Amino acid sequence: MADEKDPLEKEVHKGLKTYAYRTYGEYHPKQNPSGLLKMIKLTTLAMYGEAGWPDHLWLVRSKPKPAVIFIELKRVGGECTEIQLDRHALLRGMGFDVYVAPGLTRAKQILDQAVAKALGKKRSA
């Protein structure tokens, strides 16, 4: 069992989603129209022969233009595979923001920075 300072990758996923929705609110047009974020988990694409895509795609409801953020989650010390690095380069080449977050603490910081950027605010981490 991983200790609290080095959670398993699946625990980083769960922790980031919980943090994001508590901090910014999960957007839903009827239940929560004031929420800022919607997360789409891309890890299931591997089942369809599309391995290597970042774990999370975050949609940020921002004006004047909504933002799309890709976050690859790793446990502390984890590294991206070659196909993941290729996918990240492809997405960056298309103009998308792609982040690699080693651990939950860093994942929260990256999400905060990315949301602040999307909202046109400065936020340090």
Polymer length of the chain: 125
Please check whether residue 62 lies inside any domain of the structure. Answer: yes
Question: Which of 11-15, 34-38, 68-72 is predicted least confidently?
Answer: 11-15
Q: Domain with 17 in it: what CATH number?
A: 3.40.1350.10
Please check whether residue 34 lies inside any domain of the structure. Answer: no
Please check whether residue 106 lies inside any domain of the structure. Answer: yes
- Is residue 3 scored above 50 in pLDDT? no
- Is residue 1 scored above 50 in pLDDT? no
Mean pLDDT, rounded, for 92-119 = 93
- Is residue 94 scored above 50 in pLDDT? yes
pLDDT at site 47: 63
Range of the domain at 86: 9-28+42-118
| Closest-CA residue to 24 (of 125, 120, 108, 122) | 108
pLDDT at site 108: 95
Please check whether residue 97 lies inside any domain of the structure. Answer: yes
Please check whether residue 4 lies inside any domain of the structure. Answer: no
What mean pLDDT value characterizes the chain? Answer: 86
Number of independent structural domains in the chain:
1
> Is 107:101 a contact under the CB 8 Å cutoff?
yes
Mean pLDDT, rounded, for 9-34 = 90
Give kind and range of the element (H or E) at residue 104.
helix 104-118
d(CA 20, CA 11): 14
